[in-house]
Amino acid sequence: MPEVRKEVRQELRGDTGGGVGPAANDAVGQEDDAMYTAVPRRSQCCPGVLVLHSWWGLNEFFRRFCDRLAAAGFVALAPDLFGGKVANTEAEARSLRAQASAARKEPAYRYLIRMIGELAEHGTVKAGGIAVVGFSMGGHWAYWLAQRPELPIAATVTFYAVRNGTYASSNSSFLAHFAEDDPWVSRASIRKLDKSMTAAGKEHQFHTYPGTRHWFFEENRADAFDAGASELAWERTITFMRQTIGQQAPATLRHETRRG
């Protein structure tokens, strides 16, 4: 496994900041942007991928997912919607999501659009369309972003997520991974989304993984992780992104942590 250069950035933005930063909980009018970026070291003009975490927060799994994308030749940027905080249980996740929403000065959608700009302007990201990969809550946001024709989103990948909407103006192709046994994503909602995308003429691939549950892709969720389904979903994701936004072959990579 090649090394991956990793950048961890926290920038003081004042009242216009996004997310709920560690220091912002005790200060009025100040928020920190936090993001995790994994970049192939010597690659130039790499495709960019925005990674949107679930309600667990930007935990180690999502950071490692970015590393895997960088090892595959992509620049991966994961915004932190919860300002460095993570949850381990559903009760903690619900509470954390509510706290972040109440404390945020900048609406989440504006923050995510700004993070797309950060990714597009990254020195190693090639011009053109980017991909967005979202998990559960992050997948919900990925669908919302993909519906905005003014954003440079050429590919959207979601894990265990659906969202109704109008996709006629979207510039994205779609790949969706679903669990077979999922109390949060119904068969009816998947059919409705499929019908909506078909009516809009959007290229889309939907895959349901037999015997799996919500969170099946995430190895840190021991109660749901399915190694076989996870590996197949990963292979399909990489193939899809190479077909839609391209690939820059990765060179030898190094680790770097940067705070600015």
In a domain, 178, yes or no: yes
Mean pLDDT of 7-14: 34
> What is the C-alpha to C-alpha distance for residues 143 and 64, in angstroms, rounded to an integer?
23
Q: Look up residue 179 and give its two tokens.
A: 């669990």
- What confidence tier does 253 reach under pLDDT thresholds 50, 70, 90? very low
Which range has the worst mean pLDDT, 10-14, 120-124, 223-227?
A: 10-14
The per-residue pLDDT of the chain, averaged, comes to: 83
Partnered with residue 177 across adjacent β-strands are 159, 207
173, 142 contact by CB (below 8 A):
no
- Which token pair is 21? 């930063």
Q: How many domains in the chain?
A: 1
**Is a pLDDT exceeding 80 seen at residue 175?**
yes
Domain membership of residue 211 as a residue range: 5-244
- Cβ-based neighbours of 163, under 8 Å, separated by 6 or more: 139, 140, 143, 144, 193
Q: Given this model, what pLDDT does residue 43 score? A: 66
Predicted local distance difference test score (pLDDT) of residue 41: 76
CA distances from 32 to 2, 6, 57, 72 (A): 31, 19, 15, 30
- Name the pTM for this structure: 0.83
Residue 170 has pLDDT above 90, yes or no: yes
Report yes or no on 120 lying in a domain: yes
pLDDT at 184 over 60: yes
Classify residue 260: in a domain, yes or no. no
Residue 175 lies in a domain: yes
In a domain, 143, yes or no: yes
Is 44 contained in some domain? Answer: yes
Check pLDDT > 60 for residue 254: no
Dihedral through CA 176, CA 181, CA 186, CA 191, nearest 10?
A: 50
CB 21 within 8 Å of CB 33: yes
pLDDT confidence bin for 13, thresholds 50/70/90: very low
**pLDDT at residue 127 is higher than 50:** yes
- pLDDT band for 123, please (50, 70, 90 cuts): confident
Q: Sorting pLDDT into bands at 50, 70 and 90, what band is 259? A: very low
Confidence at 187, pLDDT banded by 50, 70, 90: very high
Amino acid letter, residue 93: A
Tell me which of 94 and 30 has the higher pLDDT.
Answer: 94
Closest by Cα among 137, 38, 141, 18 to 84: 18
What is the domain-level CATH number for residue 41? 3.40.50.1820
Determine, yes or no, domain membership for 141: yes
Distance CA 136, CA 163 (A): 10
Q: How confident is the model over 226-250, as a mean pLDDT? A: 90
CA dist., res. 130 & res. 4, Å (int)? 20
How would DSSP label each residue in the chain?
A: ----EEEEEEEEEETT--S--TTGGGSTT-EEEEEEEEE-SS--SBPEEEEE--TT-S-HHHHHHHHHHHHTT-EEEEE-TTTT---SSHHHHHHHHHHHHHH-SS-HHHHHHHHHHHHHTSTTBPSS-EEEEEETHHHHHHHHHHT-TTS-EEEEEEES-------TT---EEEEEEEEE-TTS-HHHHHHHHHHHHHHT--EEEEEEEEEETTTT-TT-TTT--HHHHHHHHHHHHHHHHHHT---------------
pLDDT band at 102 (very low <50, low <70, confident <90, very high): confident
Instruction: Read off the pLDDT band of 42 (50, 70, 90).
Output: low
Is a pLDDT exceeding 60 seen at residue 95?
yes
pLDDT > 70 in the chain, percent: 81
Q: What is the dihedral of CA 239, 43, 53, 130, to 10 degrees?
A: -60
In a domain, 249, yes or no: no
Q: How confident is the model at residue 153 (pLDDT cuts 50, 70, 90)?
A: very high
Pick 62 or 29 by higher pLDDT. Answer: 62
